Amino acid sequence: MSKVVMYSTGVCPYCVMAERLLTARGVTALEKIRIDLEPAQRETMIQKTGRRTVPQIYIGDTHVGGYDDLAALDRAGGLLPLLAAE
């Protein structure tokens, strides 16, 4: 299964929904980078993604985007193949 990384904060409802969706699709190891606890990571996230909002989700080397992007990918049938890739 691909490595899943999510930039998040402690009070983000979309982060919680993204984590629930990923868990429902079989993700057991989710690396969370808390930008509220590590401010330097916020700058890293913005540089990598061009976005300022959380969550920002990476599956392997692919930047999926935020929760809406993740849910759309799932509805289109693209999430499981991406998770299954090595």
Model pLDDT for residues 39-67, shown as the tens digit of each residue: 999 999 999 999 999 999 999 999 999 99
CB 56 within 8 A of CB 7: yes
Give the pLDDT score at 85. Answer: 85
Domains and CATH numbers, the chain: 4-84 (3.40.30.10)
Say whether pTM exceeds 0.75.
Answer: yes
Residue owning tokens 């969706």: 21
> How far does the chain reach from its first CA to its final CA, in angstroms?
6
CA distance 20 to 37: 22
Largest Cα separation within the chain, whole Å, is 34
Mean pLDDT of 15-35: 96
Which among 33, 30, 73 has a CA at the least distance from the CA of 49?
33
| Contact (Cβ atoms closer than 8 angstroms) between residue 35 and residue 45 | yes
